Amino acid sequence: MRMQKRNSERGFSLMELTVATALGLLVMTAMASLFKSGMNSVMLVTQRAENQQDMRAAVDLMVKDLSLAGAGLPSGGVQLPQGAGVTDAKFGCDQSGACHVVNYTYPGNYMYGIIPGYLNGVEGGASIPAAPAPAVNDSVTVIYCDYNFPLFEYNVTFPLAPDGTQINLTVNSSYTANPPPLPTAAGGIQKGDLILINGSNGATAVGEVTNLNATSITFGNLDPLNMNFTGTPPGVTNNIWAVSGGTGYAFPLLNPATTQGTAYRLFAVTYYITVPAAGQTPRLMRQVNGLLPVPVADDIINLQVAYDTYNSTTAALDANQANPIGVGESPNNIQKINLVVMGQSILNNGNKSQNMYLATDVSARNMAFRNVY
C-alpha cells in the first residue's frame, strides 16, 4: 500500500513570536503609562480642589474677623487695669487657664484692635515638618464689638455692693414692646466673655464674665484672663470700679436725660495653628475671649501675617511689616493685613501630598486711616 503524503502547514517562527510579543508589550506599557498619567492627573486635581476648599473656608472666616478689627472700640483702643498688684491681661486663653499661644499678654496691657503675633503661631512651639523652611508661623488677634447680641438694649446699673464687681440689667423702656433676648439665651453672654463698659464719667473698662443670670453679670476677681481688678485695690486705674464711679451709680442706656453709658460684648479672636497628638495633621484654630478654641480647617501647615502700617515719624507707608511692634510701630497705625495661608492635601498618592499657598489682603477699615496709598 502506498501511504498518503500529508501537506505541510507553516507556523510562526521563534523570531516572529519574539517580535510580536515585544510589540504587544510596548503597546501595553504605553497604555498602562497613559492610564497612570490619567489617574495621577485626577488625583492631582482632587488634591488641589480639596486643599483649596479647606484654605478658602479658613481664609473667608479670617477675613471676616480681620475686617472688623477695632470696630466699636474707643479710638486707639482700651487701656486695661494698671496699678499695684495688677498683672497683664491675657488673650488666647480659656477658662481652664490653658493659653494656646506662646506670648499671650496684651502689649503694655493695652487692648488694640489688632495684636500681631510674630513667630507665635504654633501652639506650644510645636514643629510642623511639612511647613517650608525657614519655619515662619504667626498668630493674629483681633478685637471688635459684637453688635449681634443687643446688650445695648438693656439699662445697665451698678449696685452699691459688691463694689463694681457686678452690673444689673433691665430692659430699656424703648424696647419693652419687643424685648431683647435674655443674657442667658442661646447665643447670649457666656462665662469667659468680655464686656466693654463705657461710663459717662469718661472711664472705659473691660471685664471678663465670671457668672451671670437673667438680670445681672458678675465680674469676679482672679478671673482666668486677668481682666477684673474690681473693688478698691489701692492705686488701680482703668478698671470696672473706675467706671462705676467708685461708689456705684446707675446709668440707664439711651436716655439723654440721665447719666449715660454703654455696654457691649467684645470678641477677642485669636487664630493660630495646633498640632494634635496621635499623629494627626496640623489644623487652624479660632479661639474667642475666654472660651474653648474650635477648629477652623485641617491640614493648615503655615500661617504668615504681615502688616502695612502708617509710620507717624516719616508720614509714609511701611509695607509688609512682619513685626510692627518689634520695630516700634503702634498696632493702631495698621492699615492693611497681608495674609498667607499654606495647606497640605489630606489625600496623598503614594505619600505625595500637594502643598498650596493662598494669599489675600484685608483692609482694617476701623483702624486709623491715612491717605498714603
Which pLDDT band holds residue 356 (cuts at 50, 70, 90)?
confident
Q: Please give the helix or strand (H or E) that residue 16 lies within, else none.
A: helix 14-67
Q: Tell me which of 84 and 265 has the higher pLDDT.
A: 265
What's the pLDDT tens digit per position in 163-216? 668 888 888 888 889 999 999 999 899 999 999 987 766 778 899 999 999 999
Q: What residue has cell string 453679670?
A: 217
Q: Tell me which of 10 and 73 has the higher pLDDT.
A: 73
Tell me the average pLDDT across 111-134: 90
Q: What is the distance between the alpha carbons of residues 122 and 102, in angstroms, rounded to a whole number?
A: 8
pLDDT > 70? residue 342: yes
Q: What is the distance between the alpha carbons of residues 136 and 119, in angstroms, rounded to a whole number?
A: 6
pLDDT at site 179: 92
**Rg of the chain in Å (alpha carbons):** 31
Q: What is the distance between the alpha carbons of residues 264 and 282, in angstroms, rounded to a whole number?
A: 34
Q: Under 8 Å CB-to-CB from 325, ≥6 apart: which residues?
A: 107, 116, 118, 331
Tell me the average pLDDT across 107-132: 91
Q: What residue has cell string 501511504?
A: 3
pLDDT > 50? residue 312: yes
Q: What is the distance between the alpha carbons of residues 118 and 112, in angstroms, rounded to a whole number?
A: 15
pLDDT > 60? residue 371: no
pLDDT > 60? residue 14: yes
Residue 161, classified by CB atoms within 10 Å of its CB into exposed (0-12), middle (13-18) or buried (19+), is exposed
Q: What is the distance between the alpha carbons of residues 185 and 187, in angstroms, rounded to a whole number?
A: 6
At 32, the amino acid letter reads: A
Name the grid cell of 141.
488677634
Q: What residue has cell string 474677623?
A: 65
pLDDT > 50? residue 267: yes
pTM (2 decimals)?
Answer: 0.84
Q: What is the share, in percent, of the chain residues with pLDDT greater than 70?
A: 81
What's the pLDDT tens digit per position in 19-74? 888 888 888 888 877 777 766 665 566 666 676 777 888 899 999 999 999 999 98
* Residues 366 and 113: beta-carbon distance below 8 Å: yes
- Phi first, then psi, for residue 227 (nearest 5°) are -90, -30
Q: How far does CA 154 lie from the centroid of its chain? A: 29
- 3-state secondary structure at position 191: coil
Strand order through the sheet with 316-321: 316-321, 300-311, 334-344, 355-363
Name the grid cell of 198.
463705657
* Residues 361 and 338: beta-carbon distance below 8 Å: yes
At 326, the amino acid letter reads: G
At 354, the amino acid letter reads: Q
- Summarize the chain as % helix, strand, coil (round to 5): 20, 30, 50
Tell me the average pLDDT across 125-130: 86
Q: Under 8 Å CB-to-CB from 7, ≥6 apart: which residues?
A: none
Which pLDDT band holds residue 10 (cuts at 50, 70, 90)?
low
* Residues 114 and 337: beta-carbon distance below 8 Å: yes
Q: What is the distance between the alpha carbons of residues 162 and 179, in angstroms, rounded to a whole number?
A: 28
* Residues 346 and 50: beta-carbon distance below 8 Å: yes
